[in-house]
Chain A
Amino acid sequence: MKSYLKISAAAAVLIALGACASQPEAPPPVEPAPPVEQPAPPPPPPPPPVAEQPTGPVPGSLDDFRVNVGERVYFDLNEYRLDSDDQEILKLQAAWLQSYPAVRIMVAGNCDERGTREYNLALGERRASVVKDYLVSLGVDPSRIDTISYGKERPIAAGSDENAWALNRNGFTQIVSGTTS
């Protein structure tokens, strides 16, 4: 709606400019002014300045975390190191968690299907632990973070190809409690 109004306004200006350019003669006589109308009631006051976007997630909510922070980091094949992309996401997670100190999280370590079950359980535990340690290094209280390994038991992509495997090798920060809604 907003953008529509903007476009209309811009069009009006262009038309006005065009009129100026092509019609230098004197304007025709104006019609009599319309009767004065009652002014509309003033609009409600704007919301308090908390950077709230009327259509975005409520701050401190699950959606806020999911949309504005990011809940998963992705690992390379057979790896549990955090690359710079992962670290950026975890920095956002840590800052968010500092803003909402009542929130508790469970970090799940996940693996792709191209490993054996028991080794993957161990590898998932390593991945979850690496994520937890990084968040703790950024100041998040370790008592707020639990970890769990699902090995290859909780894929998020159903395919059996490189893309699906890459998505399924992840550390998943799940909010357990303490959100605002």
Chain B
Amino acid sequence: MTRLLLALVMAFTAAIGLAPTASAELKVLVEGSGNFQPTPLAIPDFEVRGGTNTDLARQIADVVRNDLESTGLFEMQNPASFIQKDLSIDVQPRFADWKIIKTDGLVVGAFEELPDGKIAVSFRLWDVYAGEVMRINGQPGRRLTTTPDNWRRIAHKIADSIYTRLTGEDPYFDSRIVYIAETGPKLNRVKRLAIMDSDGANQQYLTPGTNTVLTPRFSPSAQEITYMSYEGGRPRVYLFNIETGRQELLGNFPGMTFAPRFSRDGESVLLTQAEHGNSDLYIMNLQTRQSRRLTDHPAIDTSPSMSPDGRSIVFTSDRGGSPQLYIMNTDGSPRTCPSGGRDVACRITFNKGQYSTPVWSPRGDLVAFTKQLGGKFYIGVIGTDGTGERLLTEAYLDEGPDWSPNGRVIVYFRESRPGAGPQLWSVDLSGRNERRLQTQTEASDPAWSPLLE
């Protein structure tokens, strides 16, 4: 827990850049238009004010730059082009020097080693063309402290502040991704639970690989994962505490349980139970350990995901003859379907192809899915009323989307061609910014954590 202890944010008392807000403030549009251009940002290495650890100061700035660049929204200016070399956090930059190299935003930072062994990083974000500081939470800058081993979290928090300030979107860099690390030949695969920071750093294995484990999902409210394991030769859903490493069987279902996912409040787990060959949806309250059956249909119902308001559940069902996406009310009452009529479950996918693995966006307006059509797999999104389907990716196999905490980025896994091992990828909701996430092994089933505390 000490690792996660990140320090307070302290306001600057120095009164600089208090000029009234200019009318044309720097603003980065995440949706962008057809002729999208990333916004040029300059983030010089941070000034070392206390201590001598210039390497660490540079590494922190590197992580900030990398986080922001990974969004595809920003372009990092080449340090060789910088004219002003005497930047200081206490002094207003010479804006002309930054305008001439066509920089829209400038981040000036300072790094300190504190007497108690901790480190502190301060930074300011400057709007070069407006010639003023961009306030963050009302303050003209931020200062963060932590223990040296926790330095990456400071970097992610700085990047989050800048991203949020410039885009108006919620942050997401200071988060983690859990996934399945895959090793060994295709016919004898070893699958382990693994976790890493959102940028791929700090990769750790959480299970030894003795049992096949699949489909991990993060709790939105605790350092806990739910996943499926073949422990003891029986495929069932477990809870796994990341801090203690303790694994606990979830519920006492007679049949196979799989496809778990936390409710948005973290108080329940939705899952699928198969009995006598038939898969139906259940919800289990983690406090009372009472479970309730959600569907009772001879078709396959699986992969439930709850809306942020808790009222609805999207899931995969082949009740119409092939796997498609359906939405039901959590309380089981009939709903008015966008395609007409009233039913306990409304189909929302009607285009060609098979649809599965729906995941409700944290913003509530979209569902991400895997689509299979004509020998290809796609990751896409669709409105919860079944309108506005958009395909974001395409490959031999693209599967298993999950949302970043702010609902702007989707992580998934890809087998780029027949016989290629799975790798983790992410794509922006615009579909513009497809990137591979580096992992030590082949990897599948990624799931994003909530923002860290």
Chain A residues at the B interface, C-beta cutoff of 8 Å = 78, 113-119, 121-123, 125-126, 128-130, 132-133, 147-149, 153, 155-156, 158-161
Contacts and interface: CB of A to CB of B under 8 A. Distances in A.
B100 interface: no
Interface of B: 185-187, 189, 191, 212, 214-215, 228, 233-235, 255-256, 258-259, 272, 274, 276-279, 300, 302-303, 316, 318, 322-323, 356-357, 370, 372, 396-397, 399-400, 418-419, 444-445
Nearest to B180: A117
A133 B300 CA distance: 18
A171 to B, nearest CB: 11
A161 B375 CA distance: 11
6 contacts: A115-B356, A116-B399, A118-B272, A119-B316, A128-B277, A160-B419
A137 to B, nearest CB: 14
B185 A158 contact: yes
Given A125-B277, A149-B235, A155-B186, A117 B302 contact: no
> Which of A125, A132, A133, A148 has the most CB atoms of chain B within a 10 A radius of its CB?
A125
Nearest to B301: A122
Interface centre among A115, A118, A133 (most CB of B within 10 A): A118
Contacts of B356: 115-116, 118-119
Contact of A125 (B185, B256, B303): B256
B445 A117 contact: yes
A154 B299 CA distance: 24
B397 A113 contact: yes
Q: Which 5 A-B pairs have the closest CB atoms?
A: A129-B277, A160-B418, A122-B279, A125-B274, A118-B259
Contacts of A159: 419
Nearest to A176: B233
A118 B302 contact: yes
Contacts of A78: 322
Given A117-B400, A122-B300, A130-B277, A148 B256 contact: yes
Nearest to B418: A160
Contacts of B277: 125-126, 128-130, 132-133, 147
Contacts of B259: 118, 121
Contacts of B187: 155-156, 158
Q: Which of A115, A129, A148, A155 has the most CB of B within 10 A?
A: A115
Contacts of B444: 117
A118 B276 contact: no
B347 to A, nearest CB: 16
A124 to B, nearest CB: 9
Given A116-B357, A118-B316, A126-B277, A148 B235 contact: yes
Contacts of B397: 113-114
A6 B278 CA distance: 59
